[in-house]
Every structure is written in C-alpha cells, then in structure tokens.
Amino acid sequence: MDYKLNQCSHSDPIPYNNQFFCKLCGIHLPSDGNIPIKSAKFSFPAHLNPIQNLQSQWVRQVPVVQFPSDYLKQRLSLIDYIIEWSEKLSLSINSLFLAVQFLDYFVSSKNSDPLQYRLYAATCLMLAAKTIELDEKIPFISKLRRYTYLPYPTQDFRKCECQIIKSFNWNLQYTTIIDWAETALSLGIVYEQDELSQSESILKERTTNIIQLNLNQQNKQDLKEQTESNHKLSTKNIYIKVQEQFTKICLTILKDGSYLNKDPSQLTLSLIGCVRKICGFKQSLPQCLLSLYDNIQPKFQDSIVDLLSKQTKQPISVVGKAFTNDLDFFSLQNYKNRVL
C-alpha cells in the first residue's frame, strides 16, 4: 500500500456547502486553518460536491432486517470463509465488505436453506466482485468452484446468482462501512496541528531530547531541519496507524453485525472518533470535523469502544480459520483432501 503523504500545496480552494476543499486533491480545508493530511492513495480532483456525494452514500446502504437464528450461529464462520476466499482471489477489501452485506440481506429477507449458506456466501462474493472489480479480477463460476472447494455444480451457482440478484431488484450498487471510511480518509481526519495525548506526548518529547543531545554539535539550522524532518516522519507514522486501525475497526463492526442497520452518518463519525482515540490523539473529534459532517452526533462511539475492549479480552473469531472451525463433515473432508 502506498503510504506516501499527499504533497499537494492546496493552493486552489473551491467552496461547496459553505466548506472549502482543495480542487487538486479533494481534501477538506477547515476555516480555522487546520491542515489535513492523507496518503496519495486517497487524492482525487474535487470536480463534484464532496458533501453531496457523502450524503448520497449514506442513503445507499444495504437494507438488513432480522437474521435467522441458524444464520447467527454460522455468520462469523461464513465471514471467515469470505475473507479467506477473497484473499486467495486477490480481491479488494471493498468487495469483501459488499459480499458480506449482500449475504446478510439475502439470508435475512428469504427463506434460505442453512445447508447452502456457503453457496450463498461464495455467490455473494462473486456478485460483489462483478460490481466493484476490474474484469480480469472477477472470479467467474469455474474459478470460484476451484478456490472455494464447494461441491455444488455450475447450475446451482447460476440459480443462486439469479435468486440473489432478483432479491435486490437487479440493483447491486450499494455502499458499505469501508466505503464510508475511505470517503472520510479522502476528506481528511488527521491534521498537522493535532496534539497527542499525554502518554504519546511524553514519548515524543523523550525522542526529541535524544535527537537534540545527539545533534548538540551541529549548528542551529541543521538542528531545525532535523526537527522538522522528524516531525514529518512522526506525522506519517501516525497516519499509517490511523489508516490501519480504521480498517481493523470496520472489520470488527462488520463481524459484530449489530451496527449494520444504524444511521451510517452517525456510525461513520463514531468510527472516526474511535480511531483517533485509539491512535492517541488528544481530541477525538475536533470542531473542524464536526462542522464538516454538519455537527452530526457520534452516538455509537462509546458502545464501539466497549465492543473493541471486549474483543481484545475475548476474540470472537480468527481470520483464515474458517475451515478448521467448521464442524460440517463434508467441509472437513474437503479441507483435508484439497490441493494447495
């Protein structure tokens, strides 16, 4: 992943909805002078109104109703299956999240067969890839059968694909938690003026003191340049941590499943607050972020923090262990005999 920080000078601001954005890289430019940072991966020209795009994403979530009890017992194992398959097929994390939400919706809205949950999961992954990925990366049925080791014939995959598409009324264009997270990262959630919490500040101060002691023989100009260089390096490391933590928390929320029907705007802001808090920022949600999101209240921030605390003490699932955790006889036999 390219973690090179955006080198844009933000010299061409453009107004949208009483907010300013950089026309060249699309980052949010708060009125208080706070300068956001982001990786080059999330740079894009601000030709369209970012606020309107964000609001349109919030209303395009996959509708989810109550899950069947049989599905709740297998959901974590099925998500591990999808994670393992998507890794083998080299699919994006966006396809992974969309496949899980397709599966949640289809199972919750149909009288589905619990014995075919893995067939549904594999088909949802294929449909998600068809929606998002480039043509050369789409795993069609023949390739899907090889990588999933499922015993179903091609005809069953085709039948299942038609059932799922019809349940969505032939519209598979939906956004997921990871899409909202990437949108937030592209607008900026880390600022150069951000202050670290006390523990992080003490560590940074000690590092700075060591650098100063080692450079006490250099002139003031060299010392100033070295300090600025280390500050940029520290900022880059913090941003890397923010981006990685955002993905991990989104995956935790996806596996938990209890937040999927919540207000996406409030959930997105809650996730931003959690990420910044975990990464050691003194202020979890600065005013410039609240104003960008029209002062939406992060109602789920505390509950997500509690969820993450419980996850740390007692993990609910292990990525990539779906085959060994599944008690289905055929799956175990297939796992033992498969050729890697």
- Give the residue range(s) of CATH 1.10.472.10 domains in the chain: 69-174+319-337
Question: DSSP 3-state assignment of 208?
Answer: helix
Q: Which comes out higher in pLDDT, residue 44 or 85?
A: 85
Largest separation between any pair of C-alpha atoms in the chain: 76
Question: Per mean pLDDT, which range of 163-177, 190-204, 208-222, 246-260 is the poorest?
Answer: 208-222
Whether the CB-CB separation of 103 and 77 falls below 8 Å is answered with no
**Gap between the Cα atoms of 188 and 26, Å rounded:** 9
pLDDT tens digits along 109-163: 877 888 899 999 999 999 999 999 998 999 989 999 999 999 999 999 999 999 9
**Gap between the Cα atoms of 134 and 86, Å rounded:** 14
**Gap between the Cα atoms of 333 and 323, Å rounded:** 10
Report the first-to-last Cα separation within the chain, whole angstroms.
26
Q: Which range, 34-38, 166-170, 326-330, has the best average confidence (pLDDT)?
A: 166-170
CB-based burial, 191-221: b 16+ in 10 Å, e otherwise: beebebeeebeeebeeeeeeeeeeeeeeeee
69-174+319-337 is classed in which CATH architecture?
Orthogonal Bundle (1.10)
Question: Per mean pLDDT, which range of 93-102, 216-225, 267-276 is the poorest?
Answer: 216-225
pLDDT tens digits along 80-89: 999 999 999 9
- Tell me, yes or no, if the pTM score tops 0.95: no
Token pair listed for 262: 């919540």
